[in-house]
Amino acid sequence: MSGWLARGDEEVPAAGAEVGGWLSTAERERLGRLRFRKRRSEFLLRRWTAKHAVLAVLGAAGGTGEPSAALARVAVLNRASGAPYVLLDGAPLGVEVSLTDRAGWAVCLVGDGPDAVGVDLELVEPRSDAFVADFLTTTEASRVHARPPGEGPGGRSELADAVWSAKESALKVLGTGLRTDTRAVEVTLEEGGPEVGPLGGPGWRPLTGRHGPTGQVLPGWWRRDGDFVVTTASVRPHDPPALLPTSGDLARAVPVEPRPAEPFADVRRRGPG
Ligand SMILES: CC(C)(COP(=O)(O)OP(=O)(O)OC[C@H]1O[C@@H](n2cnc3c(N)ncnc32)[C@H](O)[C@@H]1OP(=O)(O)O)[C@@H](O)C(=O)NCCC(=O)NCCS
C-alpha cells in the first residue's frame, strides 16, 4: 500500500466562478452538473485531497500552495460504478485510489498497483440501536452492545462507526458500494495489542472483512484520529498505509458541521447581506 493523505475543507479554493484552474476539463464538467452547494464542496474537497495524494506518491508534492497546473495534470474520474480512477496527463496512472470525506475532511488512499483499494472516513458519533440492528450483522451488533456507551476510545460509538466504515471500505473494494447489503460483509476489528505503524498519533490496527456470499476475505486496517475513524481494505494482505508528505493532521482536525443542502444557485442569489 503506497499511502494515505488527509486534507481539510478550509484550504480548498472556494467554489464559484473562479474555481477550476486546478481541475481537469472532465472534473470541471462534473462539477458543473452538481447543483447543491454541499455536493460541490464535498466533490472539490475529495479532488483536492486525491490530487495532493497522487502528487505526493509521485514525489512531486509541494505544500498547500501546489501550483494549479500541477494539480490539473492529475484527473480523478469515475467508472460507471462510481469507483474512482486516475489519469496523469491524460494517461492511466496504473495505481488504484479510493476517496472519502466526512465533516469537512477528506482522505485519499493510494494503492501500489492494480489491486482495488477502499478507504472510508467516519466521525465517531452515536449510532442508534436501529442503525446497529439494520446495518450490522448479529455478531457485530453483539460486540457493539458489549462496549460501554460513549464516543471515547474503546466505546460503543467508536466500534459501531469503525465497523460501519470498514464495511464501506470493503464495498468500495468490491466496487458495488451500498448497492450491496452491508450485512453481506462481516467485519472483525483487532482491538487489543500494540498499534502498528510509525505514524503520528495512534497507529493502524488490523481488520478483516469477509464477504459472506463469496467467502472473499478483504484485509484492511483501522485507526482512531481524534474525532474520526479511518478504515482501509484491499483484496490481499498489505502493509499499513504510510502517511504521505503534505497530509493534514486528522488527529487535530475539528469536524465541520455539514453545510445546508441548498442549491448553489440559491446561495448566490441571496448575495451579500
Ligand atoms: C461508495 C459509497 C458507499 C460511498 O458513499 P459515501 O460514504 O456517502 O461517500 P464517501 O465520501 O465515503 O465516498 C465517496 C467516494 O466513493 C467512491 N465511490 C463511489 N462509488 C463507488 C463504487 N461503486 N466503488 C468504489 N468506490 C466508489 C467515489 O470515489 C466517491 O467520490 P467521488 O464521487 O468524488 O469520486 C456510495 O457512494 C455508494 O454506495 N455508491 C454506489 C451506488 C451509487 O449510487 N453509485 C452512483 C453511481 S455514479
Amino acid at 37: R
User: What local confidence, expressed as pLDDT, does residue 19 receive?
Assistant: 62
Q: Which helix (H) or strand (E) holds 134?
A: helix 129-135
Residue 23 to residue 78: CA distance in whole angstroms: 14
In the numeric block, the cell 494515505 is attached to: 4
Residue 78 Cβ inside 6 Å of ligand 1? The answer reads yes
The total number of residues shown for the chain amounts to: 273
Task: Report residue 129's pLDDT band, with 50, 70 and 90 as the boundaries.
Answer: very high
User: In the numeric block, which cell numbers belong to residue 129?
Assistant: 440501536
Q: Which fold has domain 3-256?
A: Ribosomal Protein L22; Chain A (3.90.470)
Considering only CA atoms, which residue is closest to atom 9 of ligand 1? 100
Task: Report residue 149's pLDDT band, with 50, 70 and 90 as the boundaries.
Answer: very high
Q: What is the pTM of this model?
A: 0.90
Going by DSSP bridges, is the β-strand pair 242-243/3-8 parallel, antiparallel, or unpaired?
parallel
- For 94, the 3-state DSSP assignment is coil
User: What local confidence, expressed as pLDDT, does residue 193 receive?
Assistant: 52
Residue 178 Cβ inside 6 Å of ligand 1? The answer reads yes
Amino acid at 185: V
Look at residues 95, 183, 92, 85 and name the one whose alpha carbon lies nearest to residue 134.
Answer: 183
Residue 176 Cβ inside 6 Å of ligand 1? The answer reads yes
Quick: pLDDT tens for 167-222.
Answer: 999 999 999 998 899 999 999 998 665 555 444 445 899 999 999 999 999 999 99
User: In the numeric block, which cell numbers belong to residue 117?
Assistant: 483499494
The larger pLDDT score, comparing residue 272 to residue 223, is at: 223
Contact 238, 197 (CB under 8 A): no
Residue 248 to residue 177: CA distance in whole angstroms: 26
Q: Which of 63-77, 147-161, 222-236 has the lowest mean pLDDT?
A: 63-77
Which of 49, 74, 78, 101 gets mutated to test ligand 1 (max ligand atoms within 8 A of its CB)? 78
